[in-house]
Amino acid sequence: MLSLERVSERLKTTRGVLSILTSSKKMLFGVIILLALVITGGLAPWLSPMDPNEQTLGRAYLPPFWLSRGDPTYLLGTDSLGRDILSRLLYGASVAVYVSVTATILTAAIGVPLGIASGYLRGKFDETVMRVVDIWMSFPPVLLAITLISILGTGINNVIIAIVVADWTRFTRVIRSEVLNIREKDFILAAKSIGFSSFQIMRYEVLPNVVPLISILATLEMSVAITVEVLLSYAGLGVKPDTPSWGSMIADGLSYFRLNPWGMLIPLATTIIVILGLNILGDGLRERLDPRLTLTR
């Protein structure tokens, strides 16, 4: 393990970051999955061979091209309405990327300042924040997300709101407990003695030292966000029906499983690989940056 100071030092340069990201096979695998997701999701409109919603009923239930009934025009086959599975998968990736990146940024934007302030300032503020976190965590996150969607209605932005509302406590909790350790370090005492204000200490001394932890939490949060999006869309409570999503593809695919099992196996396998990849990346980062941290849900 690298010391806290050395990790922070390395994170300041691109080469340093690269050296951490490629330091183990595990991490490399995770990075490749993440890059593949972001690139395919981001470039979906250009990469997709056809319109994901275009229906060709005469060409429904086609298997992937490598099977005998397959058609090379539809590389991964078609679903019950004759829509191209590859194109839907790529557009589904862009939904997954948009939801997970936005939700992660927003949960971090709430959790990081709150966690730092709570852990550093302690006292009444900390007590209040932790009480709210405790009470909030009494609601199962999935149930909270479903409830919010039932009130706000479906749609990609409501999915993001639901994820943030259901899951802001993770960053807050974990960052706070790390800050409790950091605030006892000598460099904090040094900063105090040269007259830094509390805000300055939190901004310039504490924040840079929780960056490694934030990176670990962010990869995990991305996998949670993708899970919740897939799960909500699976249940018909996610993005609008005309937006392709892995969750709704899995749900549709289950209904015509006997006619073309690939319609559900492909999005299911994609979801699993992406979630595993992000978890492996998070685990690799944790081993490299902070082995003390035990992962909790």
Q: Which residues bind another protein (CB under 8 A)?
A: 131-132, 134-144, 146-152, 223, 227, 230-231, 234-237, 250, 254, 257-258, 261, 264-265, 268, 271-272, 275-276, 279-280, 283, 297
Residue of 287, 20, 239, 210 whose CA lies nearest to 295: 287
- CA–CA dist 26, 282 (Å, integer): 10
Closest approach, Cβ 172 to another protein, in A, equals 16
Shorter beta-carbon distance to another protein: residue 120 or 234: 234
Closest approach, Cβ 225 to another protein, in A, equals 12
- Helix pair 246-255, 85-121: axis angle to 10 deg: 130
Shorter beta-carbon distance to another protein: residue 45 or 236: 236
162 Cα distance to chain centroid: 14
Shorter beta-carbon distance to another protein: residue 44 or 149: 149
Closest approach, Cβ 26 to another protein, in A, equals 10
Shorter beta-carbon distance to another protein: residue 210 or 274: 274
Shorter beta-carbon distance to another protein: residue 283 or 290: 283
- CA–CA dist 1, 4 (Å, integer): 9
Closest approach, Cβ 157 to another protein, in A, equals 14
What is the C-alpha radius of gyration for the chain, rounded to an integer number of angstroms? 22
- CA–CA dist 51, 54 (Å, integer): 5
The pair of structure tokens assigned to 220 is 């995990």
Closest approach, Cβ 202 to another protein, in A, equals 24
The pair of structure tokens assigned to 10 is 């390395």
